[in-house]
Amino acid sequence: MTTDAPILSVSDLFVKRGGVPVLDLPAFSIRKGETVGLIGPNGAGKSTLLLALACLIKRERGRILFHGQVVSTRRETFAYRRRIAVVFQEPLLFDTTVYANVASGLDIRHLDRQEIGERVTRRLDQFGIDHLRNRSARKLSGGEAQRTSLARAFAIDPEIVFLDEPFSSLDPPTREGLLEDLHRILKETGTTAVMATHDRLEALRLSERMAVMRDGEVVQIGPADTIIHHPTDEFVASFVGMETILTGRVSGCGVGTIRVDLGVGELEAVGEARPGEAVRCCIRPENVTLQLPAAREETSARNLFPARVEKIQPLGLFHRVLLDCGFPLTAYVTSQSISDLNLREGAGVQAAFKATAVHVIRHEK
């Protein structure tokens, strides 16, 4: 459904709050039919960007083009707002029934009763809340309320829907179900969507493209896969889950591989760089495996380091193990492995990871 023509494009967007710049965006565009995830820590400016894109907050400057047409005057802004929808973190329902809530956008547009009825019923059905249609919005669970809010947004058949952390206040199973339904409905309707979230996995599941934000700026934007696997800087790398980030200097180059001198050891990585160049090596904890120090089992991992267990932090289904290999390294290990390897703080192990598991960020900029 994605086409190349941008449905929305902005340039030189600048927003201040209380005299402090909170958003500075040279250029940004959204293609028709795609889902863009905005990720970043709290206070990075995700919500501000979303509200600015929806023309709901005042901007210091910035040009917004919707289908190539400028959105600037009061009249243009109003017309634009009638073709988009926004869903906030809080469902912000009106004190009436579920049905009337979902119908509210259509009521505002003065559509006739019958059409409202048809469209509302379709959305209630789609979001699985038809049985709640006559229930008061005051008597809904968190998940039901957010479904109502989403149905209300989709009822107006928006061309773009802006979602501001829509699942943050829901418990995991509820969030899971809603995430799946939203994904399906976005695909079914071909609606363009921009979703802000601080959960990179949530963004990864819904979006084709992602933008990582920090301090009111977009630090990297690109296909979701690229962001997750090829972050361009340290901040993005750590935000997308690369917990180990090491600084080193390229000591040798092979065919498509490099050796990096960390000062306290050398590791091998897949990538391109010039000898002598300073680089950062990022490693995901789930790509590090641990084995007994005496084990001489065959491993295809090119990087093998003797390590000492510094700390073990339980994370529910698995454990985060902080290792000292001369350099710090983080690994995720199942509870089963913890007991198999008899891991405890101070114990010796071998840490292994493949050359392909090392993401290299070149430092020249």
Partner 1 sequence: MDMILEGLKQAFYLLVTFDPEVMGITWLSLKISGTATFFSLFFGISVGTVVALTEFPGRRLVVSLINTGMGLPPVVAGLIVTIFLWRNGPLGFLEILYTPTAMIIAQSLIAAPIVTGISLASIQQLPRNLRLQILALGANRLQMVWILIKEARLPLLAAVMAGFGGVISEVGASIMVGGNIKGYSRVLTTATVMETGKGNFEIALALGFILLLLAFIINAVLTQVQQRQRPR
Give me the residues that bind partner 1 (CB under 8 A), please: 51, 54, 56, 78, 81-82, 84-86, 88, 90-95, 104-105, 108-109, 136-138, 140, 142, 145, 152, 156, 162
Nearer to partner 1, 117 or 241 (CB): 117
The number of residues in the chain equals 365
154 vs 305, which CB is nearer to partner 1?
154
Residue 196: CB minimum distance to partner 1, A: 13
Q: What is the nearest approach in angstroms of partner 1 to the Cβ of residue 115?
A: 15
CB 87 within 8 A of CB 38: no
DSSP secondary-structure letter at 346?
A: T
Nearer to partner 1, 107 or 225 (CB): 107
Q: Token pair of 7, please?
A: 């449905």
b/e sequence 72-81, b meaning 16+ C-beta within 10 Å: eeeeeeeebe
What residues are paired with 279 via a beta bridge? Answer: 248, 362
What Å distances lie between residue 56 and 7, 30, 34, 93, CA to CA?
A: 18, 18, 22, 18
Strand partners, 63: 11
Going by C-beta distance under 8 Å and a sequence separation of 6 or more, which residues neighbour residue 174?
Answer: 141, 142, 143
How near is the Cβ of 87 to partner 1 at its closest, in Å? 9
Rank residues 82 and 229 by Cβ distance to partner 1 and give the closer one. 82
3-state secondary structure of 231: coil
Tokens 């590791």 sit on residue: 267
> Taking the complex as a whole, how short is the minimal distance between the CB of residue 288 and partner 1, in angstroms?
42
CB-nearer residue toward partner 1: 158 or 248: 158
Residue 88 or 318 having the CB closest to partner 1: 88
Contacts (Cβ under 8 Å, ≥6 apart) of 79: none
Nearest approach in angstroms of CB 142 to partner 1 is 7
Amino acid letter for position 18: G
The two tokens of residue 163 are 């979602």
The least CB distance from residue 77 to partner 1, in Å, is: 9
In whole angstroms, the minimum distance from the beta carbon of 110 to partner 1 comes to 10
42 burial class (0-12, 13-18, 19+ CB within 10 angstroms)? exposed
Nearer to partner 1, 86 or 211 (CB): 86
* 93/242 with CB nearer partner 1: 93
Q: How far is the CB of 96 from partner 1 (least distance, A)?
A: 8
Kindly report the number of other CB atoms within 10 A of residue 308's CB atom. 14
Task: Measure the CA–CA gap between 86 and 186, rounded to whole angstroms.
Answer: 14
Task: Pick the closer one to partner 1 by CB: 162 or 353.
Answer: 162
- Least distance in Å: CB of 36 to partner 1? 18
Of residues 38, 32, 97, 96, the one with CA closest to residue 66: 32
**Cα four-point dihedral sign 228, 230, 231, 237:** positive
